[in-house]
Amino acid sequence: MSTTRPQKTALLVAQRIVADINRRGNTVGDRLPPERVMLEEYEVGRGTLRESLRFLELQGVIALKPGPGGGPIVRRPDPTALATSLTLLLQFDQAPLRSVAEARAGLEPALARLAAEQMTEDQLGELRAVAESSEHLDDPRGFLEQDRHFHDLVARGSGNPVLAHLSAALLLLDRPAGGTETAARRSTARQAHLRIVEAIASRDAGETQTAMADHLAQDLRHAEEAQLAAPVVWESP
Amino acid sequence: MSTTRPQKTALLVAQRIVADINRRGNTVGDRLPPERVMLEEYEVGRGTLRESLRFLELQGVIALKPGPGGGPIVRRPDPTALATSLTLLLQFDQAPLRSVAEARAGLEPALARLAAEQMTEDQLGELRAVAESSEHLDDPRGFLEQDRHFHDLVARGSGNPVLAHLSAALLLLDRPAGGTETAARRSTARQAHLRIVEAIASRDAGETQTAMADHLAQDLRHAEEAQLAAPVVWESP
C-alpha cells in the first residue's frame, strides 16, 4: 500500500483540475485535455493523475470515457456523492433511519418557508403539476418517486443551493416511510402536497412552513417503528 | 483511461468492506485483513481493490499505512469528505458564500431549539466553558476556532446526528464572516453565545431558537458584501 503522500498530491491535483474547469468556463459535455497534456501541465506521475481523475469521477464532476478518442468529459455533479459521504458518517454512528426522517422534519419546513417567498411562478407551476397528478395513486413505487420529486422541487424553490443540495441528499437516504404503503396514505400525502402548493401560491410563509411540518410529522407517525429503528447503511447508489 | 465498469465494481467492493467492518464490530485503530486476503475474499483484481481502499481513505473511513506491516487501519470519518462533496456541487452552481451563511442561518436555529430539549448537562457544561472563555478576545483566528467549536457543540447537542454532520460540514465551508474581525464584534459574539447558553440552561426552546437566529443574522449584517459575494471554491482541506 502506498503512503498518504500521493493521496494528498492527488487531491491537490484534483483541485487544480476543477479550478481549471472553472477558469476555462468549461460546461457539461466539454472534453478535458488528454492525459499526456495533463501529465505535463500538472507535473505529476500517471498513477497520481489517474487517482485524481478517479476521485473526480466518483464525485460526479467528470465521466471517463474508455478507449481511443476517450478521456475525461465534464459532468454536472449530482447529490449522490454527498449522500454517500453522509451515509458513511451515519453508519459509523450506528444512526437509525429515524434520525434521517427527523432531520428532514427539522430542515424542510424552513425550506418550505423560503420557497413561499422565493419560488418563481414557473417553479410553482411545475410543483402544482406534480402535486395534482393522480397518476401514481395505485402505485407505491411510482408515488414514492413523485413524492421525492415534489420535495426536491420545494427545496430548489427555496433559492438556497446549499439547503437544496442537503435536502436532496437526505431524500436519497430516506427510505419509504409511512406515506406510500396504502392507497389511503397516498391519498393523504397528495392532499398534504396540495395544501403546501396552495400555501406557496398565497405566498403565506407561515402557513407553508406549518403545512410542511404537519406533512412530515404525519409521515413519521405512520412509519413503522421497525423501519425507523433500522440502521442507515451504505447500499448501491 | 479505463471504462466506467471497474469504477462500479470498486464502489461495490468498498460497500462490502464497510459492511464487513460493521459485521466484525471493528473499531477505530483496528487493522483490516492484508491485501492478499482481501483479494481472495472479494474476488477482484489488485487494481480494483486498491481503488476501493483509496475511495474509503478519501472518505476518512480507513487510513493506509505504508510499508511492511502496513495496510488499512479503521478510522472514524469526519465531515471533511461531506464538505468536499458539497463544495464541488456549489462550485458548479457558482454559488456565493452568502448561500452558505444563509443556510447556516436557516439550519442552526432549528438545531439550537433541539439542543435546548436534548442537550445533556455534561454537554451544557462543556458549551458554557467554551462560551465563557475570554482567552481569544484579542485573537481573531483563535476566536474563529472557538466560535466554530461553540456552534459544533450546539449541533451535537441537538441529538440528531444527521443535522449535526450537515452543520459541521457547513462550518467547514463558511469563511470568517462578520463576527471576528474587531474586538468589539468578538465581544458581541461572545455575549450572543452566553445568551444561547443561558437559554439552553433554562431549557427554553423558543428563546434558544431566537437567540441563535439573532446571532447569525447579526453575523450576516456585519459581513462584508464582497466577502459574501465571493464564490464557494474547493481549497485545500
Q: Are residues B30 and B93 in the same domain?
A: no
Q: How many domains does chain A have?
A: 2
Tell whether B70 is covered by a domain.
Answer: yes
Instruction: Give the ipTM of the model, two decimals please.
Output: 0.90
Which of B74, B89, B111 to mutate: most A Cβ within 10 Å? B89
Contact residues, B window 112-141, toward A, CB-based 8 Å cutoff: 114
Q: Are residues B104 and B204 in the same domain?
A: yes
Do the strands B62-65 and A62-65 form a parallel or antiparallel pair, or are they unpaired?
unpaired
Q: Of A56, A74, A92, which marks where a domain is finished?
A: A74
pLDDT grade for B236, boundaries at 50, 70 and 90: low
Closest Cβ opposite residue A102 in set B60, B66, B160: B160
CA distance B149 to B189: 13
Mean pLDDT of A169-183: 79
pLDDT grade for A168, boundaries at 50, 70 and 90: very high
Per-residue pLDDT at B5 exceeds 90: no
CA distance A190 to A187: 5
Q: Are residues B148 and B51 in the same domain?
A: no
φ and ψ at residue B60, rounded to 5 degrees: 80, 15
Nearest CA distance, A235 vs chain B (angstrom): 7
What is the reported pLDDT for B10? 87
Tell whether A236 is covered by a domain.
Answer: no
Q: Are residues B186 and B224 in the same domain?
A: yes
* Residue whose C-alpha cell reads 499505512 in the numeric block: B65
Which of A89, A174, A236 to mutate: most B Cβ within 10 Å? A89
The radius of gyration of chain A from alpha carbons, rounded to an integer in Å, stands at: 21
Q: Of B47, B74, B101, which marks where a domain is finished?
A: B74
Please give the residue of chain B at the shortest CA–CA distance from A101. Answer: B162
Q: What percent of chain A has a predicted confidence (pLDDT) above 70?
A: 95
φ and ψ at residue A63, rounded to 5 degrees: -115, 140
Closest Cβ opposite residue A85 in set B59, B63, B76: B59
Q: Is B72 helix (H, G, I), strand (E, B) or coil?
A: strand
CA distance A167 to A190: 20
Q: Which residues of A touch B18 (CB under 8 A)?
A: 88, 91, 234
User: Alpha carbon of A97 to those of A67, A141, A235: distances in Å?
Assistant: 42, 19, 13
Q: Is A64 helix (H, G, I), strand (E, B) or coil?
A: strand
CA distance B207 to A12: 44
Which of B4, B85, B154, B216 to mutate: most A Cβ within 10 Å? B85
Nearest to B207 by CA among B216, B218, B222, B197: B197
Closest Cβ opposite residue B163 in set A66, A106, A237: A106
Q: Give tens-digit pLDDT for A87-111.
A: 999 998 999 999 999 999 989 999 9
Those residues whose C-beta lies under 8 Å from the C-beta of residue B182, and which sit 6 or more positions away, are none
What is the reported pLDDT for B171? 92
User: What is the helix (H) or strand (E) element at residue A73, kind and residue range?
Assistant: strand A71-74
CA distance A72 to B104: 35
Mean pLDDT over all residues of chain A? 90
Buried b (16+ CB within 10 A) or exposed e, A5-36: ebbebbbbbbbbbbeebeeeebeeeeebeebe
Q: Of B31, B46, B74, which marks where a domain is finished?
A: B74
Mean pLDDT of A113-120: 96
User: Alpha carbon of A79 to those of A61, A83, B4: distances in Å?
Assistant: 11, 6, 19
Per-residue pLDDT at A237 exceeds 90: no
Q: Give tens-digit pLDDT for B24-50.
A: 999 999 999 988 999 999 999 998 898
Mean pLDDT of A37-50: 93
User: What is the helix (H) or strand (E) element at residue A62, kind and residue range?
Assistant: strand A62-65
Tell whether A234 is covered by a domain.
Answer: no
Per-residue pLDDT at A25 exceeds 70: yes
Q: Are residues A15 and A123 in the same domain?
A: no
What is the reported pLDDT for A118? 96
Mean pLDDT of B154-165: 96
Mean pLDDT of B103-132: 96
Sort B140 into a burial class: Cβ within 10 Å, 0-12 / 13-18 / 19+: middle
Mean pLDDT over all residues of chain B? 90
What is the reported pLDDT for B1? 39
Mean pLDDT of A33-49: 92
What is the reported pLDDT for A177? 56
Strand partners, B62: B74
Structural domain harbouring A12: 4-74
Tell whether B186 is covered by a domain.
Answer: yes
Q: Are residues A153 and A128 in the same domain?
A: yes
Nearest to B167 by CA among B79, B89, B69: B79
Q: Is B16 on the interface with A (CB under 8 A)?
A: no
Q: Are residues B67 and B110 in the same domain?
A: no
Mean pLDDT of B106-119: 94
Q: Are residues A128 and A109 in the same domain?
A: yes
Mean pLDDT of A195-211: 98
Those residues whose C-beta lies under 8 Å from the C-beta of residue A236, and which sit 6 or more positions away, are B11, B12, B15
Q: Do B102 and A18 touch (CB under 8 A)?
A: no
